[in-house]
Amino acid sequence: MTICLGIEGTAHTIGVGIIKSDKGRCQVLSNVIKGYHPEKGGIHPREAANHHATYVADVLSDSIKKAGVVFSAVDLISFSQGPGLGPCLRTVATAARALSLKLKKPLLGVNHCVAHLEIGRGTIPECIDPVLLYVSGANTQVIGFAEGKYRVFGETLDIGLGNCLDKFGRSLDLEFPAGPKIEELAKKSKTYVKLPYSIKGMDIAFSGLLTAAMQEKKQGTSVEDICFSIQETAFAALTEVTERAMAHTEKKEVLLGGGVACNMRLRSMVETMAKARGARFFVPSRNLCVDNGAMIAWLGLLMYESGIRMTIEDSMINQRFRTDMVQVAWR
């Protein structure tokens, strides 16, 4: 097995990535994504699925072209089996099954969250055994490998931080995704407004933070100050939980993943924490942080090479596919 084609489509992004294994390292040949951006409101699962169905063929042929390979050179097809939005997952699974049958190549469904971690390990040579802080729209988890599995050491109890930022952004009439715009607004302030900092054990909650931020806005607090304060509060909480996971597992590496990992303030906070502990800080390139097909392809290849196989019948999607349900045969 040398070349794997991976299809991502758990939520707002349809992506096809083609990767090659090069002496155990991941070489990305192409990684094409297309995002669904609702005109109003949040992501509607069926509309997002329609978007994926509309564009999957274009994204696929674009990715093949950019990789400079022919379909017959692909050895393996993988797809995001979960967790995610049901209609989106089903659309992508159907496309992956059809491609696998047509090309007569094996098929593997992979866990989206584990893919975020493995792409960091696969593309950053020094990154070997990290704690992953994975912060995306729907997911916020602190993940590490322990006792034969990827375990969730802490996670959000309600909404993902990206969703929290996007929702607050909608109240300001910012376009989706609002995270990058909130980052820009936050740069214009240094005034901290007190917002709820909720950590319960190793878990975090963001809905109280969102409500309080909306309240501040109604009371006329400057938008820049609120944006600054949301970031400081949420990122500090994430950094705290990540640090405790590192202390508990005695891991000396921290890796960022997910769309929110593009945020420079989050990066700098986690990097400062890592330095203070004598640990190393890693973040994959931007196009590998966000949802993408290359990470799905890479995890598919790791699984296949470790002997894992899947029939079409086994390839049902799982909206609630937990990180610790994954059989890890490659480590």
For ligand AMP, the binding residues (CB under 6 A) are 11, 13, 136-137, 162, 165-166, 177-180, 183, 258-260, 262-263, 290-291
CA distance 118 to 154: 19
The option from Mg ion, ligand AMP, none interacting with 177 (CB < 5 to 8 A, set by class) reads: ligand AMP
The option from ligand AMP, Mg ion, none interacting with 183 (CB < 5 to 8 A, set by class) reads: ligand AMP
- Tell me how many degrees the CA angle 292-42-116 measures, rounded to the nearest 5: 25
Residue 291 touches Mg ion, criterion: CB under 5 A: yes
Sequence-distant (≥ 6) Cβ neighbours of residue 23 within 8 angstroms: none
Q: Residue 76 to residues 2, 18, 101, 136, 240: CA-CA distances in angstroms?
A: 8, 10, 11, 27, 40
DSSP strand pairing (13-22 vs 3-8): antiparallel
Nearer Cβ to ligand AMP (21/31): 31
Residue nearest to Mg ion (CB): 136
Helical residues (DSSP H) of 250-291, grouped into ranges: 264-276, 286-289
The option from Mg ion, ligand AMP, none interacting with 180 (CB < 5 to 8 A, set by class) reads: ligand AMP
Nearer Cβ to ligand AMP (149/265): 265
What track of x and - describes contact with Mg ion for positions 129 through 168 (by CB under 5 A)? -------x--------------------------------
Structure tokens at 197: 């900092």
> Count of alpha carbons within 13 Å of 107, Cβ hemisphere only?
25
Minimal distance in Å, beta carbon 313 to ligand AMP?
30
Minimal distance in Å, beta carbon 165 to ligand AMP?
5
Position 233, amino acid: T
> Count of alpha carbons within 13 Å of 222, Cβ hemisphere only?
13
Minimal distance in Å, beta carbon 265 to ligand AMP?
8
Question: Using CB under 5 A as the criterion, which residues of the chain lie in contact with Mg ion when the complex forms?
Answer: 136, 291
